[in-house]
Structure 1
Amino acid sequence: MSSIDSRRRAVGASSRSQPSRQSTRASRRALSVTIGVALAIGAVITAFPLFWMLSGSLKPHRESISYPPQLLPQNPTLDQYVRLFTELDFGRYLVNTVIVVLIGGVGILLMAMAGYAFAKFDFRGKGWMFFLVLATLMIPVQVTMIPTYLILNSMKLTNTLVGIALPTLVSGFSIFLFRQFMSTVPTELLEAARLDGAGEFRTFWQVVLPLSKPILAVQAVLTFISGWNSFLWPLIIASDQKLYTLSVGLSLLNKQISVDPSLQMAAASVMVVPVLIVFIVFQRYVVQGFALSGLK
């Protein structure tokens, strides 16, 4: 009888626990739905300016200044983009920007070498040198613009694309990221490569760099965005309009052309869309690189 009573009690307890479990599942589902709706609303609010920019760039001039404004173009056209690269100098600005970004890309290798040295080598003054690298993060870029301009002027690099890209070759923050990431590379793997007869440069090139793809992707995206969106420095160092970058050309467009929202939206799209494409392509590596570097 006692065993039968215990079974009945167990069945009764399980029957009473089922509604509580169902209510817990329902509350979790409601919470998930609420969070999903909130995230969807936030995504729509965030993406709406980008959608409005792309939509406005496809509108004819009449539709762009019509009131009330329309969300979608009635007669979409690419005339504004054609006008940017035929009547205006945006083709030249685009080439200049790409050249500046490519020159700045050389700095990725230099910063990777510096980060590798701080992570895996012991030498005199290593702590103080790394402290000086971190100290540069506390100095605003605007403070160093005049000394940098004077140095480049003495080297006759003002009003050149090399002079525009040269200050972006090295960044203290990027060296810090490389150092954090390369500290996770096993030292035993490097010692094994050296025992096999590999020199330091070959070890760095064939062992360390292949393992550093996530942080290289992070630096590639950061370097691309920095060079692509650079405005103040190219405006200062380039006196020739033929050396302007896209950001400077966009600012110049707003002063040269009367109110033409569709043309300005098209120019802004040329500035923004490549950055979004690069970030989407490297997004997985960017997240992985920041996570492995200890920055969360």
Structure 2
Amino acid sequence: MELLHSGKVRDVYADGGDLLLVASDRVSIYDVVLPTPIPEKGKILTQLSLWWFEQLADVIPNHVISSTDVPSEWAGRAIRCERLDMVMVECIARGYLAGSGLKEYERDGAVSGVALPPGLIEGSELPEPIFTPTTKAPVGEGHDEFMTFADVEEKVGKELAAELRRVTLEVYRRGQQVARDKGIIIADTKLELGFTKDGTLKLGDELLTPDSSRFWQADEWKPGSAQRYLDKQFLRDWATHNTDWDRTAPGPEIPAEVVDATRNRYIEVYERLTGASWS
């Protein structure tokens, strides 16, 4: 088995013609891996992704071959999957205004070239979900930049650009529908897509997790105020308001109580969405 890539959270191994995607307990914010892991985080991300892949298999196929045919030391946190030729576009859907989307709107009145009504504030629900793709910056080489839909068409062609937008918005729509029934708002989410050897477009990486999405407590949602975050935004806020960190490596050590609070949010999202107890 050969280690092909070690990312901020996942390690990718080659095993014959397959890949093993192993989710660690590492946590990154602002593109920096913090020195303190979040116990069981990798397992929670993996199991929640597997659940979502199954729920949304009728929207688009995914890269999963097996969640059990993996080395025992990685049980629960690894997926055996197909090799994909990844599309070099970050596919993002937004239904609410937050994060970098909010900053883009405040500057331009639009996100990824999609004009939005005036007067929106942090946490505002958008008139309808929008596709806000970004570039994919190599790890450690800068930040992703917003792309317009025309930029995506130029990069991958009109037909594929249209399919990326359709899939991203439909996955978001379906995921949001499921989550709202469980009292959770999915404010935005990021997808990774790629092609198999036979040219089939499939979902890869992770899906609708607290690392790739913003989850808010629905009954406490209020535009213009801090949401109750059920994702790693909680950790970003802790680092921003409780440390003097300048967002360069290695990052601050996370206190035990913040580790526990972060882990508990990940578990809460898993249990509420899937209906299964985490043990």
Q: Which has the higher contact order (CA 8 A, sep 6+)?
A: 1
TM-score if structure 2 supplies the norm length?
0.26
Q: Of the two, which has the highest radius of gyration?
A: 1
More strand per residue: 2
TM-score if structure 1 supplies the norm length?
0.25
